[in-house]
Amino acid sequence: MPEGLLYSIGFILALTLALVMTPLVKKFAFFVGAIDKPNHRKVHTRIMPRMGGLAIYAAFVAGFLLLFPFIPDGMLTDANMNMIQALLVGGTIIILIGALDDRFELSAKVKLLGQLVAASVVVFGFGIKIDLVNIPFGDAMQPIAGWIAVPITILWIVGVTNAINLIDGLDGLAAGVSGIAISTILIMAIVMGNIPIILLSSLLLGGIVGFLFFNFHPAKIFMGDSGSLFLGFSLATLSMIGFKQVTIVSFVTPLLIIGVPLSDTFFAIVRRWVNKRPIFAPDKGHLHHCLQELGFSHRRTVLIIWGVAAIFGGFAILQSTVIQSTAANWVTFSVICLLMFGLQIGAELIGIVDKTRRPVINFFNRLLLRTKVDAQSRSK
């Protein structure tokens, strides 16, 4: 079977399976009591079933198993199978932890322990680590010492897993942002010819799109922690194993792929620190909360954040495609500066850290005022 056809069939197969399985998971969630009740921090006003992540996971795994007999032998090398098994085994651990949390509301420590176990399985069970980085203005890929690579990899997996969980606050938000990130990884994998990542990304994207039919506003089911944790873990693992052996990719690229959840998590930490609140204390200051306070509707807020995620994805693709050129380091540096400036301006405009503090905007306002005054003085 031609590779392109295989990937297309995988996407359609996973999408179809998600469309079939999501209503079944919805009934199962009500049956076992995995429901989300409204409260002061949540935007929904009625009891909703969660645990929708099981549908995405089931569509992904079932799609792979159904497609497996048709995968050419040349694609199933030991290295490729190692990558695939790492995602499947670690993802299964994560989905179990998430599903249990959707039903029993596990403590943060128990969930963190489960994430550490899943990350450790990837690192120690399958030997997958972040062992190379490309530092801007460095001469080449720099190896990371083995003992440092292990905690960096585990921190990356756990951090990204929780970043997706934090933005799961509106119908279709986390699923859409994850889908855009997976699409970015898929495009880059196609450019690089990374076969296992193309296959896995196609299947996962199909599962997400199928689930979004039931999760976009007004949602009929929430993905719950089972979905957000699984998608976060999948993003972390795919971005790592997809580019760990490709020396043309800068360390910036994986960060750009998950730019929206990563920046929202960063601003949440800064916001709580500035306001002298516990770092892990939940609040209603996330990006989607701020946009809704500005008057945007539920659906428009989600679409705006999807658009921002698409911009990050575009920068990631641009970054990876020009990284081989002689100007690669300057491109990396320019991308970082442009995005940091844009993030700061955006954060001040919507008040994601503080509603009254706008240091950069105030600086430019003072600069423009001074320029205007000087121009008036010269005209006189």
Tokens standing for 215? Answer: 């999760």
CA dist 157 → 127, 217, 281, 354, 369 (Å): 14, 29, 21, 29, 47
SS3 category, 44:
coil
Listed in sequence order, the residues at least 6 apart from 377 whose beta carbon sits closer than 8 Å to its beta carbon are: none
Residue 225 among known ligand-binding residues: yes
Q: Which residues of 227-260 are buried (b: 16+ CB within 10 A; e: fewer)?
A: bbbbbbbbbbbbbbbbbbebebbbbbbbbbbbbb
Distance CA 123, CA 115 (A): 12
DSSP symbols for 65-80: HHHGGGS-GGG--HHH
Helices (H) and strands (E) in the chain, counts: 15, 4
User: Helix 259-274 vs helix 173-192: angle between axes, to the nearest 10 degrees?
Assistant: 130
Q: Which residues partner with 214 through β-bridges?
A: none
Tokens representing 321 are 């495609």
Give the Cα separation of 167 and 261 in Å (integer).
6
As a whole number of angstroms, the distance between CA 174 and CA 314 comes to 18
Alpha-carbon separation of residue 320 from 181, 250, 310 (angstroms): 14, 7, 15
C-alpha span between 49 and 33 (Å, rounded): 8
Q: Is there a contact between 87 and 230 (Cβ–Cβ < 8 Å)?
A: no
In angstroms, the CA 286 to CA 353 distance is: 9
Between CA 61 and CA 314 the distance in angstroms is 28
Which parts are annotated binding residues for Mg(2+)?
Answer: 165, 225
Residue ranges at the known binding site: 165, 225
